[in-house]
Amino acid sequence: MNQQGHMESYGQPQPGYQGYQQFAYNNQHTAGVPTSQYGPYNGPVQGYEPTAAPQGPLRPTSGAPPTSLPPSTAAQSTAYNQYGQGDIQNGPAMTDQMQRFPVSQSYMPGGQPIAYQQYAPSPSNAQHLPNQMAAMQISGSTSNAPPPVSQSYGPPTSHRQTTASFPPTGPAVYTQYSTPLQNISSSIPQAGNPPQHPFPGQTVPASTYTSPPTSTGLTGMNLPPPPGVSRPTAMHGPPLPGQSQTGFPPSQPPTGHYPPQPNHRPAAPQTGMPGVVPGPPTQGFQVHPTQPSQGFIPQQNGSFGQMRAPQPNYAAPYTGTPSYSSQPQSQQKRLDPDSIPSPLNELPPQQKTRHRIDPDAIPSPIQVIEDDKSNRGSEPFSTGVRGQVPPLVTTDFVVKDQGNSSPRFIRCAAYNLPCTSDMAKQCQVPLTAVIKPLATLPADEAPPYIVDHGETGPIRCNRCKAYMCPYMQFIEGGRRFQCAFCSCVTEVLPHYFQHLDHTGKRMDYYDRPELSLGSYEFLATVDYCKNNKIPNPPAFIFMIDVSYNALKSGLVHLLCEELKTLLDYLPREGNAEESAIRVGFVTYNKVLHFYNVKSSLAQPQMMVVSDIADMFVPLLDGFLVNVNESRAVINSLLEQIPEMFGDTRETETVFGPVIQAGLEALKAAECAGKLFIFHSTLPLAEAPGKLKNRDDKKLINTDKEKVLFQPQTNFYSNLAKECVARGCCVDLFLFPNQYVDVATLGLVTYQTGGSVYKYTYFQAQADGERFLNDLHRDVRKVIGFDSVMRVRTSTGIRATDFFGSFYMSNTTDVELAALDCDKAITVEFKHDDKLNEDNGAQIQCALLYTSCSGQRRLRIHNLSLNCCTQLADLYRNCETDTLINYFVKLAYRGVLSNPTKTVRETLINQSAQILACYRKNCASPSSAGQLILPECMKLLPVYLNCVLKNDVLQPSAEVSTDDRAYTRQLAISMDVAETSVFFYPRLLPVHKMDVDSDDFPVAIRCSEERLSKGGIYLLENGLNLFIWVGMNTQHDLIQSIFNVQSFGQIDSAMSALPLLDNPYSKKLRSMVDMIRAQRPRFMKLMIVKQDDKMEVLFKHFLMEDKSASGGASYVDFLCHMHKEIRQLLS
Ligand SMILES: [Zn+2]
């Protein structure tokens, strides 16, 4: 396999294989011309014409490029091509991409099909609402409505039957299946492994766990509080014991950290948010419950304009928030507290005048989370019913697949879609799904079964190429089936024929996953492989920066030592004894060093490539090797690397040639794979992809701020395209001591489905644990290579936009050099026709990938949704966490081409329209002064505010440009559980933990006034983990946890809790371990003492408070949203 020959054969279209247009090496993509890299993925082209009418009969072979676009898409793909004009999906400098901002712009500028212009909401749209809609009330038809019609796609009632016939370990029933996927993970060795891990497939070294996690869920706080555990007292009730309402005993004067606010003006507490709630005397806030048993009980159907005394941190003017474009307001427009009816009217008059909105009286995230846990955590979630809203991501629940995919794979913002685009436009609720195709399931849920249809491959619709699924309708005695996506009728091949029972169901319904389950896999045939060749097993290449900084920090030594054992944990297939993945090693500074670690060698051989302008791989044989065969040589190499470079004075590095080298090596080996690059500095050395320091914080809040998020050169976007075409995924571990330009260095990672990790000021001693845990998980996790994802939909809607870490060269295929179990892709759908309530809407996500052993597979996820003609049905079946996930990704892509101010305003505007539409069409008539929120979206304001205040959209002074780019990149591939906790952290009162129980204490709201001086709290958001200690904490508790006698003696520099043999220490350490196990990234523990200088870091995460960067408090923001909504309604 010589390199040149390989390239030639790879670039040539194969006979009978049209459409597999290979990315030509050194060629440019033609802008706007969709290329399909994976023709066969869309099926061997037979009788398919892309522009065929949706309902028409089968057409003869047209010879058109194979594509399974819905017909209208194919016809319009060029005009509608938002990716074809630039290199990068979600990427930099795409001037067209953010044309969606602001919302009121047309969806696609210029040359846009008329069909899409209707998505441009006219500002006055709300005023044209039909009268009958405006008069509609939430009453019998909404809040007391029966559950959605049971359009069951799964087994009607025989739930047990399904599960019984799919034994997780016994393939006896399915002779056609191969090994269940779960074996991939369970086969990871060995003695000393952690006993039980909530993430099968991501076992982490035993040393990480001091106690086995018992949680099997993906989310935190796994169990409902036991009887007797008090509800979060912070919510409605009196202050916590030992906790005053202001967070500190009144007898304690505010310390230096809690200065009295100069603008605390009793007469006008709303100075910062003036003119918010003027209105008739009946005004207030309302939340409309959708289910009688759920919701915000104390305020149910009532106003919650309760007031109470101003808090120390409150009543500062609403400064530093240019995004709200609030004009100076006249005095008379200011909120008059006395005009808000509430229990405060019974208070003495002198208190009344100083009152404001009570934080306890506005919707509480904690109560919503706890209510969902107690209402929905006990019963399994069965997916047989169409359009069911799943429990929240924070609820621990078991899923039973009965014909729709688990919410662990797909979550939607709306489970009841509006039938028409007019309704969608009116309500502005984005129709979006967050798809995590390779999500890890808890141990008690069976992984998707693998279906092998032999040489003929998966059964598919002839026209749209949708895969066989529970929604396909068999007709004519089972000889044909009608597609649920395009209605085309397809012949059933003889080998797949089966008789139907009296209900029209195939007799083998329960025996075939593709007929009865929402998620399953097909073994792909050679038609689904590049060049019609079964792929080689993938390779991992470790590429280590050996410049001065990397050596000095201890990184190189630590990494080389760890690799000796880590290589035993490479992903392996099923019951395979060893991993099929081959490994290779490169070190570099200004030049690259390749190593020959062939098993026959006594010592590794180094080959230096100093001509980095035109990178090539100096050796083929012996570079990528089997770990077991070459173990002695590899170990010798890993011993020698730190010694060889120990005295280096070289401070300059290259970066572009490193990726090029890895790419060339994979090309030469004709395999997909992953590069693990460990890199420390800005690549200043003369080489392709050389960068300069262009950091400039002065650009913040200017129109040029977007430049900070864009790459500084096109070099890496071109390189990324090549990597994607070759299935070369790049994971980047950064160890910077200063600006390294994450926005540019991370680009290839971002577009190849890789992960970036950043360890600023890395020191092996202090940060080694975090780095090694991340590395272990990253190397070992379930991953698919050389992937393409396609989302098909039933007639009426289609996927129009995608967010995540991937590349798109056309409008429909999401190309991923690799996709791992942690990565989610957010998809937005738009109408292209009417939907109807009877048929609902169907979504099918198909992921074609190469497994870690080189097996080509298709993972299929199906989801069916309801459709409605009444907007109230839509608002009752929404999921705010998913909505927020979409908003985050929309905003974080938006900052590439828009000022952050514009992005913030766009989010506020769209959210206000969503809530105003509800108010106008679904809420009972009431005073315009009332803020009325739909039950399912009552947390939208608080969560939205968290997104607006995040470092990417509104950075505080100390946040670096690299950190912002890093956060942006992380968030864009987060799933719903991750965005949920990242934007609204979990804050647990440690002093309230029950040492005799496995449960966590009930979380409290993220606000300083909820903290007690006598308490200890744990805060985590998936990236950061703090333990905050109040200065009045009991000495006994301090002794039990920190092993010192007093608050003053606690060493806040400690990065791990001391191992003490008492129940408090054990319980807290176990909580920390469990929380870490629930998150994809290891969180380093930081101890923060009250009033310590580090406290400002901690306070940054108290999301309900006003932020140092000028972000609004929750109360202020809710008032602001109320004002926006009122403006839309007036
Ligand atoms: Zn079809």
Mean pLDDT of 99-112: 36
Q: How far is the CA of 485 from the centre of ligand 1 (A)?
A: 5
| Integer Cα distance of 815 and 802 in angstroms | 11
- Asked whether residue 435 carries a pLDDT value surpassing 90, the answer given is yes
Q: How far is the CA of 208 from the centre of ligand 1 (A)?
A: 49
Pairing of strands 473-475, 825-831: unpaired
Can you tell me which residue has the tokens 């005397």?
281
In this structure, what token pair is assigned to residue 161? Answer: 């039957």
Q: How far is the CA of 80 from the centre of ligand 1 (A)?
A: 22
Q: How far is the CA of 1084 from the centre of ligand 1 (A)?
A: 49
Return the closest-CA partner of residue 462 out of 489, 426, 423, 434: 489
**Run of H or E residues at 191:** none
pLDDT, the chain, mean: 76
Q: How far is the CA of 71 from the centre of ligand 1 (A)?
A: 11
In this structure, what token pair is assigned to residue 783? Answer: 């991953």
Mean pLDDT of 102-128: 34
- Asked whether residue 281 carries a pLDDT value surpassing 70, the answer given is no
Q: How far is the CA of 484 from the centre of ligand 1 (A)?
A: 7
Q: How far is the CA of 635 from the centre of ligand 1 (A)?
A: 54
Mean pLDDT of 1067-1074: 96
pLDDT > 90: what percent of the chain? Answer: 64
Return the closest-CA partner of residue 66 out of 20, 13, 15: 20
Return the closest-CA partner of residue 1075 out of 44, 218, 201: 218
Q: How far is the CA of 453 from the centre of ligand 1 (A)?
A: 19
Of 267-271, 745-749, 985-989, the poorest mean pLDDT is in 267-271
| Integer Cα distance of 1118 and 912 in angstroms | 11
Of 181-195, 286-300, 377-391, the poorest mean pLDDT is in 181-195
pLDDT bucket at 987, cuts 50 / 70 / 90: very high
**Cis, bond preceding 50 (omega within 30 deg of 0):** no
Strand order in the sheet with 592-596: 605-609, 592-596, 582-588, 539-545, 673-679, 728-734, 756-758
Q: How far is the CA of 798 from the centre of ligand 1 (A)?
A: 13
Return the pLDDT at 929. Answer: 75
Q: How far is the CA of 793 from the centre of ligand 1 (A)?
A: 9
Q: How far is the CA of 487 from the centre of ligand 1 (A)?
A: 6
- Asked whether residue 414 carries a pLDDT value surpassing 80, the answer given is yes
| Integer Cα distance of 43 and 935 in angstroms | 44
* Amino acid found at 866: N
- Asked whether residue 319 carries a pLDDT value surpassing 90, the answer given is no
Tell me the per-residue pLDDT of 492-550, one tens digit each, with 9 for 90 and over.
999 999 999 999 999 999 999 999 999 999 999 999 999 899 999 999 999 999 999 99
| Integer Cα distance of 808 and 814 in angstroms | 5
SS3 816: strand
* Amino acid found at 657: P
Q: How far is the CA of 1027 from the centre of ligand 1 (A)?
A: 54
Q: How far is the CA of 486 from the centre of ligand 1 (A)?
A: 4
**In this structure, are residues 138 and 924 in contact, taking their beta carbons and an 8 Å threshold?**
yes
pLDDT bucket at 208, cuts 50 / 70 / 90: very low
Q: How far is the CA of 882 from the centre of ligand 1 (A)?
A: 28
Return the pLDDT at 356. Answer: 66
SS3 5: helix
Q: How far is the CA of 571 from the centre of ligand 1 (A)?
A: 36
- Asked whether residue 22 carries a pLDDT value surpassing 90, the answer given is no
Return the pLDDT at 71. Answer: 38
Residue predicted with more confidence, 1094 or 675: 675
**In this structure, are residues 211 and 197 in contact, taking their beta carbons and an 8 Å threshold?**
no
Q: How far is the CA of 795 from the centre of ligand 1 (A)?
A: 9
Q: How far is the CA of 491 from the centre of ligand 1 (A)?
A: 12
SS3 815: strand
Q: How far is the CA of 16 from the centre of ligand 1 (A)?
A: 23
Q: How far is the CA of 74 from the centre of ligand 1 (A)?
A: 14
Q: How far is the CA of 467 from the centre of ligand 1 (A)?
A: 8
Q: How far is the CA of 440 from the centre of ligand 1 (A)?
A: 29
φ, ψ (nearest 5 deg) of residue 1101: -100, 5
Q: How far is the CA of 837 from the centre of ligand 1 (A)?
A: 20
Mean pLDDT of 725-736: 97
- Asked whether residue 727 carries a pLDDT value surpassing 50, the answer given is yes
Tell me the per-residue pLDDT of 469-504, one tens digit each, with 9 for 90 and over.
999 999 999 999 999 999 999 999 999 999 999 999
Q: How far is the CA of 797 from the centre of ligand 1 (A)?
A: 14
SS3 382: strand
Q: How far is the CA of 70 from the centre of ligand 1 (A)?
A: 9
In this structure, what token pair is assigned to residue 564? Answer: 């000796």
pLDDT bucket at 287, cuts 50 / 70 / 90: low
Return the pLDDT at 928. Answer: 67
Return the pLDDT at 840. Answer: 96
Mean pLDDT of 726-750: 97
Q: How far is the CA of 488 from the centre of ligand 1 (A)?
A: 5
Q: How far is the CA of 38 from the centre of ligand 1 (A)?
A: 19
Q: How far is the CA of 1029 from the centre of ligand 1 (A)?
A: 60
Q: How far is the CA of 460 from the centre of ligand 1 (A)?
A: 8
Q: How far is the CA of 50 from the centre of ligand 1 (A)?
A: 12
Tell me the per-residue pLDDT of 794-826, one tens digit each, with 9 for 90 and over.
999 999 999 999 999 999 999 999 999 999 999
- Asked whether residue 73 carries a pLDDT value surpassing 60, the answer given is no
Say what angle helices 940-949 and 880-894 make with each other, to 10 degrees.
30
In this structure, what token pair is assigned to residue 1041? Answer: 């946890």
Return the pLDDT at 576. Answer: 87
- Asked whether residue 1097 carries a pLDDT value surpassing 50, the answer given is yes
**Cis, bond preceding 190 (omega within 30 deg of 0):** yes
Q: How far is the CA of 792 from the centre of ligand 1 (A)?
A: 9
Q: How far is the CA of 613 from the centre of ligand 1 (A)?
A: 49
Residue predicted with more confidence, 523 or 113: 523
Can you tell me which residue has the tokens 């500074």?
589
Mean pLDDT of 832-856: 96
CB within 8 Å of 1077: residues ≥ 6 apart = 197, 198, 199, 204, 209, 213, 215
Of 608-612, 882-886, 965-969, the poorest mean pLDDT is in 608-612
In this structure, what token pair is assigned to residue 73? Answer: 């898409």
Return the pLDDT at 614. Answer: 87
Q: How far is the CA of 483 from the centre of ligand 1 (A)?
A: 4
Q: How far is the CA of 1036 from the centre of ligand 1 (A)?
A: 68
Mean pLDDT of 450-478: 95
Q: How far is the CA of 35 from the centre of ligand 1 (A)?
A: 22
Tell me the per-residue pLDDT of 228-263, one tens digit each, with 9 for 90 and over.
333 332 333 333 333 333 333 333 333 333 333 334
CB within 8 Å of 364: residues ≥ 6 apart = 232, 235, 296, 1005
Q: How far is the CA of 482 from the centre of ligand 1 (A)?
A: 8
Q: How far is the CA of 472 from the centre of ligand 1 (A)?
A: 9
Q: How far is the CA of 411 from the centre of ligand 1 (A)?
A: 23
- Asked whether residue 419 carries a pLDDT value surpassing 70, the answer given is yes
pLDDT bucket at 958, cuts 50 / 70 / 90: confident
pTM: 0.74
Return the closest-CA partner of residue 1088 out of 1002, 992, 1020: 1020
Pairing of strands 673-679, 728-734: parallel
Return the pLDDT at 289. Answer: 53
Q: How far is the CA of 1090 from the centre of ligand 1 (A)?
A: 62
Q: How far is the CA of 966 from the centre of ligand 1 (A)?
A: 41
Q: How far is the CA of 464 from the centre of ligand 1 (A)?
A: 4
